[in-house]
Amino acid sequence: MSQTINMRGTTICCVRKDGAVAIGGDGQVTLGDTVIKHGARKVRSIRDGKILVGFAGSTADAMNLFERFESKLDEHGNVLIRAAVGLAKDWRTDRYLRKLEAMMIVADQTHTLIITGNGDVLEPDENVATIGSGGAYAKSAALGMSRHSALSAENVVREAMAIAANICIYTNTSLKVEVLEYGHA
């Protein structure tokens, strides 16, 4: 049985460009059709700035997954792909975790991964990954800017998120952006 996660309530955008990866998220938290909070922090830099994480979905579920992801990093020696696959496997097979409604984007200097509750660990073909209600808008904007502008990864994320916020009612302009610079690829 496949579950479809339809995130309504945030946008997360990750861009890898010119030796840097940036991940940004809006700050809006909604309950139904009401805005509850404008400045939530949905992106994190962890492991001394070596890994970036962004999450969309139910706040409690996302925080639970974030904590479990950190445990998987401990378990797998901070190897991003192994930790992501371990989390996805647990998420898919554990009866409690299967009910969590959230998604994550994780990135280090080499990989950008989308982790879903369906057991997926997806590495996008392009250098852009998005999740959440405004994800398609942010992705379209980020792809265009990444290909056809000299903007940095951080500035592509900021501009793409601003475009998404102008279109998606569940996305606002209170952005938090984290950047990991690793040198030119």
Q: What CATH code is carried by the domain that includes residue 159?
A: 3.60.20.10
Residue 102 counted as domain residue: yes
Nearest to 160 by CA among 185, 184, 135: 135
Q: Domain tally for the chain?
A: 1
pLDDT per residue as tens digits for the range 154-173: 999 999 999 999 999 989 99
Query: What are the catalytic residues?
Result: 10
Residue 123 counted as domain residue: yes
Q: Check residue 173 and give its pLDDT.
A: 94
Nearest to 87 by CA among 120, 54, 55, 59: 120
> Which parts of the chain register pLDDT below 70?
1-9, 184-185
Residue 4 counted as domain residue: no
pTM for this one?
0.91
Residue 184 counted as domain residue: no
Residue 46: in which H helix or E strand, if any? strand 43-46
Q: Which domain holds residue 85?
A: 11-170
Q: Check residue 151 and give its pLDDT.
A: 97
Residue 131 counted as domain residue: yes
Cα 180 to Cα 48, 69, 109, 127: the distances in Å are 10, 19, 7, 14
Residue 84 counted as domain residue: yes
CA angle 32–35–36, rounded 5-degree value: 100
CA distance 6 to 157: 22
Q: Check residue 184 and give its pLDDT.
A: 61
Residue 1 counted as domain residue: no
Residue in the structure block whose two tokens are 């445990």: 71
Residue 20 counted as domain residue: yes
CA distance 96 to 133: 24
Q: Check residue 140 and give its pLDDT.
A: 97
Residue in the structure block whose two tokens are 């999740």: 131
Written as one string, the DSSP assignment of 108-142 is -SS-EEEE-TTS-EE--SSSEEEEETTHHHHHHHH
